[in-house]
Structure formats: C-alpha cells, structure tokens
C-alpha cells in the first residue's frame, strides 16, 4: 500500500518523505503562492486559478488571499462559498463544505494529526481524518477545526473557537474547546 493509500484509509502514513505526496504538495503550494500574488482586481484570473487549485467547487465562490492548502483535490466547496483572508486548509483527507458557508479571517481546517506515541511522531508519521461542514454555516474569525470533525447545518461557530468535537445542526457554539451555548430556532 502506498503512503497516499494509507492516508486515504485513515492509517498512519509518511507525509514528509514520500515522493508522490511531496510532489503533489509542492505543485499545489506553488499554485497557492501564484494565487496569493494576484491583484484583487484580477477577478477572472483569481477565479480561474482557484478552480485549478480546488477542482471540486461550485460556481459562486470567493476566497480572499492569502489562501493555503496542501493538495486542493481533497477540498469540496458548495455554492456561495466565501472565505475571508488567511484561510488554511490542510486537506490530507477530504474537507467538504456545503452551500452558503461563510468563513471569517484567519480560520484553519486541519485534517492532519500526529500520534501521541513519541517514536511514531518522531518517525514523521501522521494520520488524516475528514472534516464535513453542512449548509448555511458561519465561522467567526480565528476558528480552528481539528481532524475528523463534522459541523451541522445552519450552525454558527464563534470567533476564536477550537472545534474538537462534532457540532450539531442549528446551534451557536463557541470556546476552547468549542461547546454549544445556544440553539437556533428556524
């Protein structure tokens, strides 16, 4: 089994020295750098390049620079996706966003994690678990979402939150660790 296959199956894998993964990350990060250096007025170039980075996206999307991801091909964006400046998506596993998702500045979505076992960690092994975000979700600024998290439809994640557990539909959740503080009535 290749390191990429191990990653896709949620197993420990070597992301640091595997030639295939290194090459794919380098290509993606070069495209991200190019994207981040475009002028804001280059709307068509920005749109074309972000769709080259993130092929699994609907039509209406805006990602303000700076934007960084690892591979791009593991990201899926729904319709009317908006992300403010400094979005980071470590997409070693799939990161799916539903329709009408709004992300404040300086938010990060991490599918990659590292083992607690020091020998495995020092060997450069990591794992990746998918992140799923429903429809109509709003993230305040400086939110961090950890590996394996699902966030339900119509929920709001307050600024500065660190999401360590799944968040249900129709709630406001805040804090470190992020916890539900209010139900939203529709």
Residues noted as catalytic: 114
Residue with tokens 């020295």: 17
SS3 at position 46: helix
CA distance 90 to 20: 17
Which residues have CB under 8 Å from 122's CB, separation 6+? none
CA distance 71 to 101: 21
Q: Omega of the bond prior to 177 within 30 degrees of 0, cis?
A: yes
């Amino acid at each position: 089994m290749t390191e990429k296959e191990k990653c896709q199956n949620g197993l420990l894998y070597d992301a640091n020295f595997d030639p295939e993964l290194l090459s794919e990350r380098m290509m993606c990060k070069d495209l991200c750098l190019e994207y981040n250096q475009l002028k804001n007025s280059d709307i068509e170039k920005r749109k074309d390049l972000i769709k080259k980075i993130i092929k699994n996206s609907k039509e209406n999307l805006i990602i303000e620079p700076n934007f960084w991801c690892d591979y791009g091909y593991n990201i899926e964006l729904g319709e009317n996706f908006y992300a403010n400046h400094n979005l980071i998506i470590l997409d070693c596993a799939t990161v799916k966003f539903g329709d009408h998702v709004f992300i404040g500045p300086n938010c990060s979505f991490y599918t990659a994690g590292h083992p607690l076992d020091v020998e495995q960690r020092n060997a450069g092994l990591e794992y990746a678990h998918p992140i799923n975000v429903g429809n109509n979700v709003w993230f305040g600024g400086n939110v961090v979402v950890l590996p394996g998290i699902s966030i339900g439809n119509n929920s709001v994640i307050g600024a500065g939150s660190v999401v360590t557990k799944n968040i249900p539909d129709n709630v406001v959740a805040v804090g470190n660790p992020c916890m539900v503080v209010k139900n939203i009535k529709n």
